[in-house]
Amino acid sequence: MKHALVTGGSGGIGSAICIRLATMGYNVIVHYNINKVAAINTLDAIKSEGGNGEIIQFNISNNLEVNKSLTNWKKNNPDKYISVLINNAGTSKDMLMVWMEENDWNSVIDTNLNSFFNTTSPLLKDMVLNKWGRIINIVSLSGIKGLPGQTNYSAAKAGVIGATKALAQEVGRKNITVNAVAPGYIATEMTNALDEKQLKKLIPINRFGKPEEVAELVAFLAGENSSYITGEVININGGLYT
């Protein structure tokens, strides 16, 4: 059985990804930092579909904490390795840069960009040794187009996109693919406060996306049939920006 780690697996998009990967036969490791109840709910949903999973807790912006948790997982599973990593967890603190505080910048960079290194680095060696792996980074329209009020978030996601392209070239010979998925407006708790009626007028498909639609794309990239796709950023935004 292959093992997949989904950071931020208790959130809207993360939960959908966890459930979809479980249907592919992966043992899904549902990551959370604070909301354990949501992580357990995701795990229950996985099991109700006949899948397998477990939960794991750590702060993705804390390198020592991430390494400790993943090292403990490895000790408890000495003959196994995490072959699929979905870097999904993130945060935003929107503010025009003229008013932005240093902490608002640093915390968003730590959680969205530095976390990519924190989670990917300790898992990469096993992927290389086993000559198979899938790393999928959930980025954003903000990292491609840039959005006002999100200078920190746009910078972090653009950084992950650059890292995706570089790492793909480093590990491609080991049958490890590294790709990024850039959602537009997806109907989750994070977008509940947005005016969908107004914003959907900007979207050619004329609606917000569904978490399950993002999960389908991630599932494809996590499988064998995507083995010739690497270093790519795939938009899923209803035609909002291409």
Instruction: Report the distance separating Cα 21 and Cα 144, nearest Å.
Output: 26
pLDDT digits (tens, 9 = 90+) for 2-27: 999 999 998 899 999 999 999 999 99
Q: Are 28 and 9 within 8 A, CB to CB? A: yes
Question: Among positive and negative, which fits the CA dihedral 131, 175, 156, 29?
Answer: negative
Q: For each of the domains in the chain, give its residue range(s) and CATH number, in order of start.
A: 3-236 (3.40.50.720)
Reply yes or no on whether the pLDDT at 197 is more than 80.
Answer: no
Is 153 annotated in the active site?
yes
32 φ, ψ to 5°?
-145, 165
The proportion of the chain whose per-residue pLDDT surpasses 90, expressed as a percent, equals 81
Helix pair 12-23, 211-222: axis angle to 10 deg: 50
Indicate the DSSP class of residue 109.
H
DSSP states of 189-235: GGGTTS-HHHHGGGSTT-S-B-HHHHHHHHHHHHSGGGTT--S-EEE
CA 3-41-83 angle, to 5 degrees, is: 10
pLDDT band for position 41 (cuts 50, 70, 90): very high
Of these residues, 26, 32, 81, 153, which one is catalytic?
153
Q: What's the half-sphere exposure (Cβ side, CA atoms, 13 Å) at 34?
A: 3
Give the model's pLDDT for residue 34.
Answer: 93
Residue 11: name the closest of 52, 41, 48 by CA: 41
> What residues form DSSP beta bridges with 136?
86, 179
pLDDT digits (tens, 9 = 90+) for 84-143: 999 999 888 889 999 999 999 999 999 999 999 999 999 999 999 999 999 999 999 889
Instruction: Report the distance separating Cα 179 and Cα 22, nearest Å.
Output: 20
Q: Mean pLDDT score of the chain, rounded to an integer?
A: 93
Q: Residue 91 contacts by C-beta under 8 Å, 6 or more apart in sequence?
A: 107, 108, 111, 112
